[in-house]
Amino acid sequence: MKLAKKDVERKHENLEWAEHNARQSILYDFTDQENWRCLAKVKVERIDKDGIESLLMDLFQVLGRDPDLLVQIKEADLIESGQELLEAIFLNDPLDADVWFEEMSDDEITTFASRCRTLNFTDQRANIIFGRRIERLLKAGKEDLFISLVPHLLAHRPQNHELWLQLGRLHERRKEIAQSWLCYDHVQVLLPHTLERDRFLSRMKGKMDGDDFKPWSAPTVSDRKSFLEKMQKLARVPSAIDAKSELDSPNEVLSDEEKIVILVEDEKYSEAFFMARSLAANGEQWALEWVEKIRELIA
């Protein structure tokens, strides 16, 4: 940027170079707000209204596609106020989880929890940002809130095996054995070589010799199906919940496999994955092939 201002004759080339570097910086670390600020400055200097809008829309994706944020982007004069809007977004929604938590009151945490139930976490970056936030809540001792919010992230990105493991271990520590099993089972479906469910069962069998251990068995098919159907429902992106779907067409009765095909074609992989797993858990052997196909798509 400084070079572009000093060398007027090569301003265009220098700004292109600055923009390229700023873009690369965001790709390297999208959680560093300075990287976003730098790119916004270049866009303003180049009087690139579409570019500023594109940057803010990208940030919109990172922050879970908050509809209130979208309204601000669409209504603003981005050349005049694009950078101010960016700062307002960061002030309200810092990308650093520790900074975010330090500014949160109890009422704001309650509001945040409500927001999480309406946002879209299909973008991996959004999943990371909000995952770090709810992990920060867990660190602050808010276990119940963590447990209630994690499924919303996992429903949109079921391949996040590390978060599934963390949730499973938390349930296990709380002696919520059935919920632990469901988490470890999901991890083993994602990564069969990890044997997380099998190791968990071994731990449970090892404890059965203790006097204080209560008899336990794995969740029933009905319990597993109920859990997976709940995750499938959560996997529906908020913008699509009220929209008319091909799956709900009154004029055509679709088979379960046809529904999965439609979901996959629409790239609604998370919803398709949980649907296939639910059907497989209910004894539909053909669905196992779809579980494997979709697992590879989301890997």
SS (H, E, C) 9-57: HHHHHHHHHHHHHHHHHHHHCCCCHHHHHHHHHHHHHCCCHHHHHHHHH
Alpha-carbon distance of 20 to 18, in angstroms, equals 5
What percentage of the chain exceeds 70 in pLDDT?
A: 89
| Predicted confidence band of residue 283 (pLDDT cuts 50, 70, 90) | very high
| Total count of residues recorded for the chain | 299
Is residue 48 within 8 Å of residue 82, measured between CB atoms?
A: no
Quote the pLDDT of residue 202: 86
Environment class of residue 61 by beta-carbon count within 10 Å: exposed (0-12), middle (13-18) or buried (19+)?
middle
Q: How far is CA 31 from CA 126, 132, 157, in A?
A: 10, 11, 19
Q: What is the pLDDT of residue 211?
A: 53
Give the model's pLDDT for residue 187: 95
Burial of 129 (0-12, 13-18, 19+ CB in 10 A): buried
pLDDT above 90 covers what percent of the chain? 66
- Write the pLDDT tens digit of every residue in 95-109: 999 999 999 999 999
Question: Region 61-74: what's the mean pLDDT?
Answer: 81
What confidence score (pLDDT) does residue 242 get? 46
Examine the pLDDT at 65 and tell me if it is beyond 90. Answer: no
What are the residue ranges spanned by the domains of the chain? 2-95, 101-157, 226-298
What token pair was written down for 146? 């963590």
Single-letter residue type at 37: R
- Residue 135 is given by DSSP the state H
Q: What is the pLDDT of residue 212?
A: 60
Cβ 279 vs Cβ 287: under 8 Å? yes
Tell me the per-residue pLDDT of 144-186, one tens digit each, with 9 for 90 and over.
999 999 999 999 999 999 999 999 999 999 999 999 999 999 9
Confidence label for 75 from pLDDT (cuts 50, 70 and 90): confident
Q: What is the C-alpha separation between 86 and 84, in angstroms, rounded?
A: 5
Tokens of 131: 């995952």
* DSSP, residue by residue, 67-100: HHHHHHHHHS-HHHHHHHHHHHHHHHS-SSHHHH
CA-CA-CA-CA torsion sign (47, 50, 51, 52): positive
Cβ contacts of residue 132 below 8 Å, gap of 6+? 97
Tokens 């968990």 correspond to what residue? 200
pLDDT at 66: 78
Task: Give 252's pLDDT tier (boundaries 50, 70, 90).
Answer: confident
* Mean pLDDT confidence for 86-97: 93
Instruction: Provide the residue type at 173 as one letter.
Output: R
What does the mean pLDDT of the chain come to? 88
pLDDT tens for residues 222-251? 999 999 999 999 998 765 444 445 565 556
d(CA 129, CA 214): 39
pLDDT at 80: 86
pLDDT range class, residue 262, cuts 50, 70, 90 = very high
User: What distance in Å separates the CA atoms of residue 292 and residue 299, rounded to the nearest whole number?
Assistant: 10
Please tell me whether residue 156 adopts helix, strand or coil conformation: helix
